[in-house]
Amino acid sequence: MNSNSGQTTSIWMATGQEPESTPLSENMHADVCIVGAGIAGMTTAYLLSRTGRTVIVLDDGHIGGGMTERTTVHLCNAIDDRYFEIEHLHGEKGAILAAESHTAAIDCIEAIVVEEGIDCEFERLDGYLFVPPNGSKDVLERELNAAHRAGLTDIDRVGRAPIDDFDTGMCLCFPRQAQFHPMKYLEGLKHAIERNGGRIFTGTHAGKIEDGARIETDSGFAVTADAIVMATNTPVNDIVTIHTKQYSYTTYVIAARIPRGSVTRALYWDTDDPYHYIRVQSVSAQDGDDYDLLIVGGEDHKSGQADDGDQRYENLEGWARERFPMIENIEMRWSGQVMEPVDGLAFIGRNPGDQNVYIITGDSGMGMTHGTIGGILVTELIVGDPCPWESLYDPSRITLRTSLQYARENINVAVQYFEGYLSGGDVDSPEEIAPGEGAIVRRGIAKVAVYRDEEGTLHERSAVCPHLGGIVSWNTSEKTWDCPCHGSQFDSYGRVITGPANSDLGSAKDE
């Protein structure tokens, strides 16, 4: 299975069957048009189709071909940003609603798996939060107390996580977390959506959105709808508002081969900065060789602001081998993007200024549950049912206690613009670029993104991101051009693959 979001391959891409679908080939109308066929879009389509609404799903790649196939799939109500921080920013009621909604998301996924008979390796298991060596246990005490106030009273201290060769020391146990195979889950959702009358079109780029009711695609065909849902990881319809309140981070993952059963099946997280997250996936090879993969993620950085992926993978491997000596070899490695909202919770609901356009974004490292929450909440908003989570996830919200962080992040963006336009190129001449690599070349006042393919042919595009004009940088690990301002990503030839940009890099001749 080929990815449309980078050159690396995740375990889900390697072991899942890409759900088949076809491009849009005529003008169509539906009650709701959903842009994005990842976990958020497909969940929304499934839940709406169950209410009798007609739905159309559009995606310019394949089903699950964005960040869903690059997740590590932790289904948890253990908040990455910690309950004591959510309580500080959103109040005790907000923390209660956050716990309730993430718990409901896991329950919703389980219920769908059972009702639709989806064979996606769903399983309940415990999760363990621990501090790094010599780290203060105070953060665990604060989190335990805050989680209890949020209603998660079954969380408890335990002496150590169930890892034989690594003594984590005292940690928190979060019961009834879960994991599954995301591509197999989406395959099941696809069949259910189509059975309910929904239509899914892939290889179809949603271009211009007119008056919140019509989507014109690059093929020339259009979809009209009474409501539109943007489920594209980060909104491609919004130019500024949401993108000043959330920030794109690149996260790295390795999958290490270990003997079957050598690590207790559970979810594991530490409180390091950047933190690490771990789970186990079983693999049954065709030759009868059964083994487990230890999936370890972390080493995050702002997207487009570092190009040292090989070093970050090595750091992950070193961290993992020190704690899990049974590791035999690294089977695969991949990266993905995480959208971090300034106040720790997703933006789900009506797009600011639009009554019939809805957005689901701001996964905050919890894309599977935030995406499912998005499907539940947007469905209820469209149907007209009350939802107690509406104000908590409202995209128009302003969290005053995040003002300093908001300022820091947007100053960082301003610095990227300043450095992007005033700095020199990566190389003085395209002749310095090796086959299969890319680099920024300055020509007068302009900057050009130059890629030399494996046959030696040069491909030149403008280095200016079409979203808000940031200067892209080369990502050696994924062979992509990444914008350091808002996280837009383009393939080596300049074709857009991740928003908020919604068009390709321009022609270098226009510079």
Tell me the three-class secondary structure of 71-112, residue by residue: CCCCECCCCCCCHHHHHHHHHHHHHHHHHHHHHHHHHHHHHH
Q: How far is Cα 360 from Cα 330, in angstroms, rounded to an integer? A: 34
pTM of the model: 0.93
| Contact assessment for residue 377 and residue 348, using Cβ atoms and an 8 Å cutoff | yes
CB distance 40 to 374 below 8 Å: yes
Structural tokens at position 428? 């003085």
pLDDT value, residue 5: 63
Query: Coil, strand or helix: which one is 405?
Result: helix
Beta strand extents in 342-384 (DSSP E only): 347-350, 357-361
Burial of 385 (0-12, 13-18, 19+ CB in 10 A): exposed
Q: How far apart are CA 454 and CA 135, in angstroms?
A: 47
pLDDT of 72 above 50: yes
Each residue's pLDDT tens digit, 271-314: 988 889 999 999 987 777 899 999 999 999 999 999 999 999 99
Question: How many residues are present in the chain?
Answer: 511
Q: Tell me the mean pLDDT in the region 352-380.
A: 93
pLDDT at 505 over 60: yes
Token look-up 């394949």 returns 62
Whole-number pLDDT of residue 213? 87
| Tokens 């499934």 belong to residue | 46
Separation between Cα atoms, residue 281 and residue 274, nearest integer Å: 23
Q: What secondary structure, in 3-state letters, does 193-240 show?
A: HHHCCCEEECCCCEEEEECCCEEEECCCCEEEEEEEEECCCCCCCCCC
Residue 3 in this model has a pLDDT that exceeds 50: no
Residues 6+ apart with CB under 8 A from 434: 452
- Distances in Å between the Cα of 444 and the Cα atoms of 151, 301, 463 are 60, 31, 13
Average pLDDT taken over every residue of the chain: 92
Give dist(CA 4, CA 232) in Å, integer.
14
Model confidence band, residue 436 (pLDDT cutoffs 50, 70, 90):
very high
